[in-house]
Amino acid sequence: MALAAKLQLRQSQSLVMTPQLMQSIRLLQLTHVELERFIDEEIERNPLLERAEPQEDASGDQPQKSETAAEPASGDDWFETETEWSAEAISEKLDSSLENLFPDDPGTSERLGPDLTAQWKSASGGSAGGASSEGFDVGEMAATVVTLREHVGEQIALAFPNPAERLIAGELADGLDEAGYLRSDLDEVAARLGADKAAVARVLAVCQAFEPAGLFARDLAECLSLQLAMRDRLDPAMKSLVANLELLARRDFQTLKRICGVDEEDLLDMLAEIRALDPRPGMAFSGGASDAIIADVEVRAAADGSWAVELNSDTLPRVLVDNVYFARVSSHAKDQAEKDFLAECLQNANWLTRSLDQRAKTILKVASEIVRQQDAFLVHGVRHLKPLNLRTVADAIGMHESTVSRVTANKYMLTPRGVFELRYFFTASIASAEGGEAHSSEAVRDRIKQLIDEEKPADVLSDDAIVDMLRESGVDIARRTVAKYREGMNIPSSVQRRREKRALANAGR
């Protein structure tokens, strides 16, 4: 067989991931904050994009342009218009009197002196009452959030006049985690600073007396001991209790009474003191306020008995393409490179606006189907939450399962029963004992929690007993599944609950 070169034409279809398509897919899974950040970056990069944020006056109408506002020059010279300002013109337009800018507060100069008076006037925003006529936010004068490192640093400066000790204390402070525990090894600190380990230990002892009590502890037991010592409650019995926290976690009260040498009443008092302590004293200085959850979708009851599903307008970015600016600038383009740049900017801007519109429609479509599937939950509560998976929603709305997964990531829905992440409504199914409709795992968890909350001290339910009760109510569940759900809700075993309830019952007598 002879080998020969031939030319052949073939026609085939393939999915090409263009940059625009990848951008559209990426926009689906962005949160509200991430989307706003992304749009800000695009606006900074693309001169044809601008935010559409209409501002309304007190009457609700759109503000009109001032008659005295300078209008841009018409024709081709619009970009060459210049305005000249002189010192005389500025002084005529503005009142430059320092007395009007910083009115005196009666008695301020006498109390503070001239230098501090000027500082007070500057900080007060230009008014005697401490607020300027406009644009002043009282919150700006409030104390900023103090971080753990700053709080400890202030105490180090006061506690260590010796520079060498202050350096060691600063190194130890750098080893604190967000909970206030010391994660640095003392030997490594001493070797790194070329200091004696005994000197490092002495500095650590002083640091462990800082406020709040419990800082610079190396484990939970030491953290609790420092707080108890600050309260003068670290007696031998309490030391024994803190040294056996694993028995406390297992609720082995009988062994604890024997080790601590106390009776039941004293042990309960000691446990109450332990509960009043803070196991993470540094969390009070975590720094930065947590962001509030902003729901992407709002669900409310409609007049006809159905559910109205709407997108939250606060989470919808308003972006416009400035075609007028594009036409004006493109007519003055000097070469082909500038024209290509403007054409690319226009294409990207149009694609972004279409992608944002498609993102909003997709979120609304997915949320509407979730509401339709979980109608019983919205009416009756968590016990009626149905098993649901991504494929069911994807098939119902004619989309791919991966698209639904991206839409439900980090999105929240505001319902009459509270704010829930969209992923909350997707739960595994647990078969029915009678062959009927399956049960949602979240509903089964809630049922297990209710059974345990209603149990009596003399009749603590074991996992096997919970399985039997659930099967009587039509839930076919295994014992290991009950144990997994119970541990996931931080509920102790029946043996530990029985010990705790007996101890509390004896204390009540």
SS3 content of the chain, % helix, strand, coil (to 5): 55, 5, 40
DSSP annotation of 61 reads S
- What is the distance between the terminal CA atoms of the chain, rounded to a whole angstrom? 103
Give 467-479 as a DSSP string. Answer: HHHHHHTTB---H
pLDDT for 53 equals 65
pLDDT for 66 equals 37
pLDDT band at 207 (very low <50, low <70, confident <90, very high): very high
Global pTM value: 0.53
Question: What average pLDDT does range 54-81 have in this prediction?
Answer: 41
Residue whose entry in the numeric block shows the structure tokens 């060459």: 80
120 or 252, higher pLDDT: 252
pLDDT band at 413 (very low <50, low <70, confident <90, very high): very high
> In degrees to the nearest 10, what's the CA dihedral of 87, 92, 93, 99?
90
Tokens of 466: 């919970």
3-state secondary structure at position 297:
strand
- Cβ atoms within 10 A of the Cβ of 4, count? 5
pLDDT of 399 > 60? The answer is: yes
- CA–CA distances in Å: residue 156 to residues 23, 150, 173, 201, 209: 50, 10, 9, 15, 11
pLDDT of 105 > 50? The answer is: no
